[in-house]
Amino acid sequence: MRHRRIIVTHYGGPEALQVIEEECPEPKHGEVRVNVLAAGVSLPDLMMREGIHPETPPLPFTSGWDLVGVVDQLGEGVSELEPGQVVAALPICGAYAEFVCLPHRELVPVPSGLDPAEAVSLVLNYITAYQMLYHSAKVRTGQRVLIHGAAGGVGSALLQLGRLAGLELYGTCSSRGVSAVSGLGGIPIDYQHQDFVTEIHRLTGHGVDVVFDGIGGTHIWRSRKALRPGGMVVAYGLTGSLRGGRLASGRSGGRHRFRAIIIFGLYIAGGWLFPGRRRVVPYSIQWLKRLKPSWFRQDLITLFDLLQQQKIKPLIAQRFPIAEARQAQELLGKGGVTGKIVLIHNES
């Protein structure tokens, strides 16, 4: 049996993505072959394509951090799962494929009846939001938080989960995202026409308790200025390294996994060393999953339960068939996307 998958042939722009057809992979001992129903398209995918994400693998590789699919074949030694069962996983690489083999311990059962595109939105975006709220910031009802990129995949997840937690929500967004942020219970700040530090102090007086910053670099320092004394920036991304979905420096073509992370570390250290009692705390979904795998599983089960109860509703920006992965990444790179872009593998 043959299948299609997307490979990154060189570090660079969307043209680096190619569709190939090959024999389906066979599961090894302890693995499960999954027929992928939905795979998320995320900014870390773009950063890995450009060669600058810390998790960037050697070439050629298949992109895709998160997936939902159906168990297709069990490898030897696997008895906990059954063919036909719907599962979710965070493989970091490999989800842009029709079939993928993964260790059975990485798979989390998905409740029946959920939309695969909505379910896959929980695996990366909502887990990131949930763990930052409850494990990193340890938020309490009534606290004020600022969310950067509030109309995006993680941002909209933070808004929905933050409203459930009883937080006072502020969110930066483009003019296109204002209605989405308002609709999710946040007070929008149009970063294209307003200075968010000035606006936050005008609206709150002393600043917010927590800022969620996925942009990185010097932006972390700006976020710190929006905090009240004793507040916290949760820094979780390096998307400021991109401009229009491409490497901001314009120097594509290499694998520079640690350049941005070193700068990221310097800003985090500065948050502790400089006066003002305003901390910068890093968050990494993959490292927390490696250190506390039980948290990832339990948090995802909690989120599936919230989705079943219709207490959360992921925003799906657009669905693309797998063969249009390049177009999907181009759309994400242009910016202003509300919610999550998803590759749907059973469409052509």
Residue ending a domain, among 287, 314, 330, is 287
Are 261 and 294 within one domain?
A: no
Highest mean pLDDT pick, 118-122, 254-258, 335-339: 118-122
Are 129 and 276 within one domain?
A: yes
Are 135 and 37 within one domain?
A: no
Distance, in Å, from the CA atom of 123 to the CA atom of 303, rounded to the nearest integer, reads 9
Are 112 and 249 within one domain?
A: no
Are 279 and 176 within one domain?
A: yes
pLDDT score recorded for residue 19: 98
Are 224 and 148 within one domain?
A: yes
Q: What is the pTM of this model?
A: 0.94
Residues 95-142: tens digit of each pLDDT:
999 999 999 999 999 999 999 999 999 999 999 999 999 999 999 999
**In 3D, which of 38, 15, 59, 5 has the Cα closest to residue 245?**
15
User: Which tokens belong to 215?
Assistant: 């942009």
pLDDT score recorded for residue 127: 98
Are 337 and 283 within one domain?
A: no
Q: How many CA atoms lie within 13 A of 6 on its CB side?
A: 27
What's the rounded mean pLDDT across residues 44-62? 95
Going by their DSSP bridges, the two strands 227-235 and 208-213 should be labelled as parallel
Place of tokens 């759309």: 331
Are 147 and 257 within one domain?
A: yes
Residues 132-187: tens digit of each pLDDT:
999 999 999 999 999 999 999 999 999 999 999 999 999 999 999 999 999 999 99
pLDDT of residue 252 exceeding 70, the answer is no
Residue ending a domain, among 267, 287, 307, is 287
What's the rounded mean pLDDT across residues 12-17? 95
- pLDDT above 70: percentage of residues in the chain: 93
Range of the domain at 257: 123-287
321 alpha carbon, distance to own chain's centre: 20
What's the rounded mean pLDDT across residues 247-268? 69
Mean pLDDT of the chain, nearest integer: 93
Place of tokens 């320092």: 221
Q: How confident is the model at residue 347 (pLDDT cuts 50, 70, 90)?
A: very low
CA dihedral 245, 248, 250, 251 (to 10 degrees): -100
305 CB contacts (<8 Å, ≥6 apart)? 111
What's the rounded mean pLDDT across residues 292-314? 98
Residue ending a domain, among 269, 287, 305, is 287
Q: How confident is the model at residue 256 (pLDDT cuts 50, 70, 90)?
A: confident
Domain count, the chain: 2
pLDDT score recorded for residue 113: 96
What's the rounded mean pLDDT across residues 282-301? 97
Q: How many CA atoms lie within 13 A of 343 on its CB side?
A: 30
Are 26 and 139 within one domain?
A: no
Residues 214-247: tens digit of each pLDDT:
998 889 989 999 999 999 999 998 888 888 888 7
Are 227 and 116 within one domain?
A: no
140 CB contacts (<8 Å, ≥6 apart)? none
Indicate which CATH number applies to the domain containing 106. Answer: 3.90.180.10
